[in-house]
Amino acid sequence: MPVHRSGKTLAGAALAALALLLPLALSGTANAADDPGTRQVPARGSAWMGMGVPAHDGQGGQPGGISIQATQTEGVDVSSHQGNVAWSTLWNSGVRWAYVKATEGTYYKNTYFTQQYNGSYNVGMIRGTYHFATPDTTTGAAQADYFVNNGGGWSRDGKTLPGALDIEWNPYGASCYGKTQSGMVTWIRDFLNRYKARTGRDAVIYTATSWWKECTGNYSGFGATNPLWVARYATSVGELPAGWPYYTMWQYTSSGPTVGDHNHFNGDLSRVQALANG
């Protein structure tokens, strides 16, 4: 009997301990899932333009339901995320320009680049390429060189837009890539300077106003030279980053027809051609 009582006492103690520990274990699991350092991150190279916009900047309004003051020309941006793109379908829907992801960091080249870049050109679109920046991996100058060497060049053929620097939330870690605001501005400037030295063109800057404020301190020094491509998934473009009195392009949705990422060029087709021609 003493043994029996002892067994019951041990079992009761064990159950009581388990009852105390279970909430802690569950709490620890939830915290781990919420911790940026422990959650699953995408594979390097898989990022696309606007990847972080819905989560960080929100998404409101219906695609196409936008308030515009002047003529706009429809465009799309694509990456390996879209695979082989139905360019004739996009052309027939009124899309007249496109940007294709060429590179990321100094470690990734778009595996669908040829189909996307040549395909958009072959249906008559004016097209360009973009680079997804990773300022925590290599210098701005190194990434500009990698971009130009792998599809990011420019030629005055009336069909090629200047390259675009996609600078936005880091999908692989800290939003600002571990850089101070001044450090980020320096990195961007190094990329832009090298790109212009290599191509003769000022690169387009793609970003979101909220990211620009957080990670550059709302730096205003690029507005006079580099066209702005702003991301804002809403019925109006909203506030622009400092230094730009107007946008050149506006990525207004990630859920458009055929290809999700749709954009408006701030002007008619002749303005798109003017940017292509420099």
Active site residues: 77, 166, 168
Residues present in the chain in total: 278
Give the Cα-Cα-Cα angle 111, 128, 183 (nearest 5 degrees).
Answer: 85
**Residue type for position 177:** Y
- Residues 147-182 as b/e (b if ≥16 CB within 10 A, e otherwise) read bbebbbbbeeeebbbbbbbbbbbbbbeebbbebeee
